[in-house]
């Protein structure tokens, strides 16, 4: 289950910059106010990384809790195939990415078993490329 948007306005976008600033929105636990995973640095998270982290969380907590993913990859990253000459336009879309600023909350978990939630979020931390922190 990859996170891919159903439709988008333009076919291809420019990559743009990820500014090193702390976000103003999505800073606190919104939905369950129990336990969550917060990003400590700016960067990009691909849809594969996000889905593998969610899978790891669901595997640990099984059916004892509920998980909310508060980000969604909506920026397409294009790539040209290897051994192609220069020119001939921009390459096709390779994968989807979410730009994340420091302080953004990625996952929130509501469960009666906090010990299993901690293990689940630690297994999700391994699968993400950025530094993260578990918050209560």
pLDDT digit string (tens) for 53-111? 999 999 999 888 899 999 999 999 999 999 999 998 999 999 999 999 998 999 999 88
Rg of the chain in Å (alpha carbons): 17
Percent of the chain predicted with pLDDT > 70: 96
**Phi and psi, residue 106, nearest 5°:** -90, -55
- State mean pLDDT over 122-134: 95
The model's pTM is: 0.87
Task: Fill in the DSSP letter of residue 120.
Answer: H
Helix residue spans in 1-136 (DSSP H): 47-61, 114-126
Average pLDDT of the chain is 89
Provide DSSP, 48-75.
HHHHHHHHHHHHHHTTSEEEEE-----E
Please, which residues have CB within 8 angstroms of residue 14's CB and are 6 or more apart in sequence?
none
Residues pairing with 40 in the sheet: none
Q: Can you read off the two tokens belonging to residue 34?
A: 């129990």
**CATH fold for domain 35-79+92-135:** Aldehyde Oxidoreductase; domain 3 (3.90.1170)
């Amino acid at each position: 289950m990859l996170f891919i948007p159903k439709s988008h306005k333009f076919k291809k976008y420019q990559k743009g910059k990820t500014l090193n600033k702390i976000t103003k929105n999505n800073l606190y636990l919104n939905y369950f106010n129990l336990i969550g995973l917060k990003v400590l640095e700016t960067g990009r998270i691909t849809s594969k990384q996000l889905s593998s982290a969610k899978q790891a969380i669901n595997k640990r907590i099984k059916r004892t809790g509920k998980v909310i993913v508060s980000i969604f990859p909506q920026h397409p990253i294009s790539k040209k195939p290897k051994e192609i000459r220069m020119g001939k336009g921009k390459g096709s879309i390779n994968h989807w990415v979410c730009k994340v600023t420091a302080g953004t909350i990625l996952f929130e978990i509501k469960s009666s078993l906090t010990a299993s939630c901690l293990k689940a979020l630690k297994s999700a931390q391994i699968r993400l490329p950025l530094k993260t922190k578990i918050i209560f």
